[in-house]
């Protein structure tokens, strides 16, 4: 099972899109088997105000605010912290998840400057 940064993410776990949950569990199983580590979910749902605060210094967002996949109902995005994995290991893990879930409309973004990964699914095939 994945770890959560706070009780908030743990409470949100049952409310996220089933396809996203499957992708998270697959990524976590890979991390456990290959690297002996458990993923830490740092964000699932995000409010409009949280989104605005997060991107308050981003001129692109200020010019054209957009709705995040974190704001959808059910939630279709997750952020992971990867302090225990190298960027190369995360790239390998991301490629595995994308390959295993080929055909799903999803995106995985590695953000090395923040030591996190953003994963989103655009359609929920298991709903």
Q: For 69-95, how does the pLDDT look when each residue is reduced to its tens digit (9 = 90+)?
A: 899 888 899 998 877 888 888 888 878
The confidence score (pLDDT) of residue 111 equals 79
In which residue ranges of the chain is pLDDT below 70? Answer: 124-127
CATH class of residue range 3-121? alpha beta
The confidence score (pLDDT) of residue 10 equals 94
- Cis before residue 82, ω within 30 degrees of 0? no
Q: Distance between CA atoms of 110 and 106, rounded to whole angstroms?
A: 14
The confidence score (pLDDT) of residue 125 equals 67
Q: What is the pTM of this model?
A: 0.81
Rg (CA), the chain: 14
């Amino acid at each position: 099972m994945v770890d959560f940064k706070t009780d908030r993410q743990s409470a949100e776990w049952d409310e996220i899109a089933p396809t996203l949950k499957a992708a998270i569990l697959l990524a976590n199983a890979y991390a456990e088997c290959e690297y002996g580590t458990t993923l830490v979910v740092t964000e699932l749902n995000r409010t409009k105000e949280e989104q605005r605060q997060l991107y308050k210094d981003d001129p692109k967002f200020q010019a054209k605010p957009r709705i995040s996949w974190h704001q959808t109902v059910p939630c279709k995005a997750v952020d992971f912290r990867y302090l225990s994995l190298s960027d190369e290991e995360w790239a390998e893990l991301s490629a595995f998840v994308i390959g295993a879930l080929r055909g799903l409309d999803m995106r995985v973004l590695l953000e090395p400057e923040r030591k996190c990964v953003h994963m989103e699914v655009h359609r929920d095939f298991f709903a």
